[in-house]
Chain A
Amino acid sequence: GENVEQHPSTLSVQEGDSAVIKCTYSDSASNYFPWYKQELGKRPQLIIDIRSNVGEKKDQRIAVTLNKTAKHFSLHITETQPEDSAVYFCAASGSGNTPLVFGKGTRLSVIA
């Protein structure tokens, strides 16, 4: 089955700096790669996703890149703000009703 590795487990950045979180996956059949933000005690919220037919996607300060050959994808947050502090999870899945497999998460702290 699919295995998703995520790094780093914790990340501290100064406000205004960029943050990068990286994930690798094992199943070449996976074609959907979402990123979730989870605040303490709350549900994961989808912040951006990318599909295997696209190499990069951007939404304001957030961007995701995908390298299918290397089987890795990354989340980039620019101009970080304190409210970006949370746990971020990457995930991967195939098509249809296959479940998402999550990485272990990255705890991002943005220091004002």
Chain B
Amino acid sequence: GAVVSQHPSRVICKSGTSVKIECRSLDFQATTMFWYRQFPKKSLMLMATSNEGSKATYEQGVEKDKFLINHASLTLSTLTVTSAHPEDSSFYICSARDPRSLEQYFGPGTRLTVT
């Protein structure tokens, strides 16, 4: 079964609104989770590393004020896309790494469409 869940799977929002995406690690405690973005027919691009109890580490070119990440517990990380614009439309996927095996498991992804 799935070890990482993500909600919602699809969301459509209007420009200027904010959208929150949740990522949960179901089978293990994850001190670190990762957020990726994937455009059609492209690879997964790391946006940020979410650290439980501390600030997220953002990749170069990713606006931390636009993509707010909170990792309040060992099983939950959230990504909030603030003041969304059409160019933010994409497939957002979170992942968590099992500290025992190093295997990285992905959530089912969230398809965001900003109109």
Name which residue of chain A comes closest to B93, CB basis. A43
Query: Which chain B residues have a beta carbon within 8 Å of chain A's beta carbons?
Result: 31-32, 34, 41-44, 46, 49, 51, 93, 95, 97, 102-109, 111
Whether A89 and B108, one on each chain, are in contact in the complex, defined by CB atoms closer than 8 angstroms, is no
Closest 4 CB pairs of A and B: A97-B32, A43-B106, A104-B43, A105-B43
Whether A43 and B108, one on each chain, are in contact in the complex, defined by CB atoms closer than 8 angstroms, is yes
Query: Which chain A residues have a beta carbon within 8 Å of chain B's beta carbons?
Result: 32, 34, 36, 41-46, 49, 51, 89, 91, 93, 95, 97, 99-105, 107
Select B34's contact among A89, A95, A99, beta carbons within 8 Å: A99
Select A102's contact among B32, B43, B51, beta carbons within 8 Å: B43
Whether A99 and B106, one on each chain, are in contact in the complex, defined by CB atoms closer than 8 angstroms, is no
Known A43-B93, A43-B109, A104-B43: A99·B49 in contact at CB below 8 Å: yes
Could you tell me the distance in whole angstroms from the C-beta of B101 to the nearest C-beta in chain A?
9
Whether B44 and A89, one on each chain, are in contact in the complex, defined by CB atoms closer than 8 angstroms, is yes
A-B contact pairs, 21 of them (CB 8 A): A34-B103, A34-B104, A42-B108, A42-B109, A43-B106, A43-B109, A44-B44, A45-B106, A46-B103, A46-B104, A46-B105, A49-B103, A97-B49, A97-B51, A97-B97, A99-B34, A100-B46, A102-B43, A103-B43, A104-B43, A107-B41
Whether B107 and A102, one on each chain, are in contact in the complex, defined by CB atoms closer than 8 angstroms, is no
Could you tell me the distance in whole angstroms from the C-beta of B70 to the nearest C-beta in chain A?
17
Q: Which of A44, A97, A99, A103: most chain B Cβ within 10 A?
A: A99
